[in-house]
A and B are shown apart, each in its own frame.
Chain A
Amino acid sequence: MKRSQHRSKDTKRRTTLTLPAHDLQHAERIARSRKVNLSTVVAEALAEGLRVQAAAERSEEVLNAYRQALGGFSDREAMLLDGIVLGPPERRR
């Protein structure tokens, strides 16, 4: 089994990033006010950004599946898919 599969979600890696100066200053202000280090603030912001991005991707996937599942049908066919079964009137005796 590969070593990466054993890595826990909380494992940390050191890296170098180039970030917009304004955002970095903002993050530093937050870190000072919360008395945590800059890495903590940047990690939280990144996690939240990734969560929003994943939600948007999931939303788009569901919408695409819905389009494929329910689009391209006539009104009568759409009624059938919504649970309304229409047919020729029964002959009355």
Chain B
Amino acid sequence: MIDPAWGPLLFDASAEGWLMRSRDPAVHDWLAQYLRRHQVNISVMTIVERVRGYALLWQGATEDRRAAIEAARVAYLQQLGRVQVLDAGTAVVAGELMAMLPHPPTPPRRAHRLVESRQDRLARWRFDILIAATALVTRMRLIHNNAEDFETIRGAIERSPDRFPGLGPLELIRCTLVV
């Protein structure tokens, strides 16, 4: 169990989504307790992922569904919490990581006869590197539900501490373990 007083945490989109969609009352209680103490911190890259998601949903939606999608998008943008922008330090760390880890650690996702394109998988991998770099530079623990990507990044940082002087380790929290 993770003490909700720990924090602030950097929330990956995978963790935000999992925590909000969980049907476990203990998870909702944990999130409520966390929010009484801290703001939600997110990387600016998480906004890119979410807004792209809303836009793609809107493009593929019928006219009567579009209003609900737009309302959801507005609700999201109205409560962003604290947004961590990409600065020079984050860019340096991310560049090092992208050179060390040019390929995603797992193949594109599949679900219901649908598949993620290679380009989208690579883009998502690079987004995750930027988010992990943000956590490292801001010295925040990263809460996520994407162990494959973030554990790979953590491992690379641990194996090459000389490339990340004064930083690290990357501290990860799997959102499924908060309660």
Contacts and interface: CB of A to CB of B under 8 A. Distances in A.
Size band of the B side of the interface?
35 or more
B16 A70 contact: yes
B116 A70 contact: no
Interface of A is mostly: helix
Interface string B119-142: 010001001000000000000000
Interface residues of A, number: 34
A59 to B, nearest CB: 4
Nearest to B19: A66
Interface in A31-63: 52, 55-56, 58-63
A77 B65 CA distance: 13
B30 to A, nearest CB: 11
Most central of A63, A81, A86 by chain B CB within 10 Å: A81
Interface in B2-37: 13-14, 16-17, 20-21, 28, 31-33, 35-37
Given A76-B111, A85-B117, A86-B115, A65 B76 contact: yes
Interface of B: 13-14, 16-17, 20-21, 28, 31-33, 35-37, 40, 46, 49-50, 52-54, 56-57, 68, 71-73, 75-76, 78-79, 81, 109-117, 120, 124, 127
